[in-house]
Structure 1
Amino acid sequence: MDSLAALADPTRRRIVEILARGPLSSGQIAARFDITPPAVSQHLKTLKAAKLVRARAEAQRRIYELDREGVEALAGWVNDLRRFWSGKFDALESALRR
């Protein structure tokens, strides 16, 4: 799944924001939402498929954290866009000053 498609959902964006502060169990994540734990699990599954989060086993729990590789790939794509638009805005500024 594409990371942008995964982030189109506000609940998934919020999960990513929460995990940016540090790893949490699925139960800890679910406790922060007014939806069922199985619904949170489905969101986590989607984020894992998009390579934005990963899970590790810790005893009987799954601990979720941001997937550095996937997040860096997304950030790189955004930075490429930023450089593209920055150049366009610089050219527009130059044209307007003339």
Structure 2
Amino acid sequence: MNPEILRALAEPTRLRIVELLRNGPITVGEIASKLQIRQPQASKHLKVLNEAQIVDVDSVANRRFYKLRSQSLQEMDYWLSTFRSLWKNQYDELDEYLTQFQNQRSREE
């Protein structure tokens, strides 16, 4: 996985931008307004997201619409999926322990 993806998403404002873009393409102005930041700040964050290949930009007349790139998010999802089996095993072990604990307490009562 491209470590730039995680680096870019580690900044809270950029993560909030990605969450906004989940609903579809929007302009820099709309992002700035919804996050209550100045447009140059929004543009700076979008540049980082673009360089990390998390967003794409489409120009329509004099407006720039930003949208999520599914490929980068799929890459991150695949990377995270390699850890899911570890989590599942730990949850299964916890479930087994709790069941044994409850059974033992029931016998003691």
Which structure 2 residues correspond to residues 3-42 of structure 1 after superposition, within 5 A?
3-42=5-44
Measured in 2, the distance between the counterparts of 1:31 and 1:76 equals: 33
1:70 aligns with 2:103: no
User: Whose helix fraction is larger, Structure 1's or Structure 2's?
Assistant: 2
Shift of 1:64: 0.3
Unpaired segments ≥5 residues, structure 1: none
1:51 counterpart (41, 53, 68):
53
Identity of aligned residues (%): 36
TM-score (norm 2): 0.77
User: Which has the higher mean CA deviation after the structures are superposed, 15-24 or 31-40?
Assistant: 31-40
Unpaired segments ≥5 residues, structure 2: 101-109
**Count of aligned pairs:** 97
TM-score (norm 1): 0.85
Secondary structure, aligned partner of 1:57:
strand
**CA pair 43-94 structure 1, distance change in 2 beyond 3 A:** closer
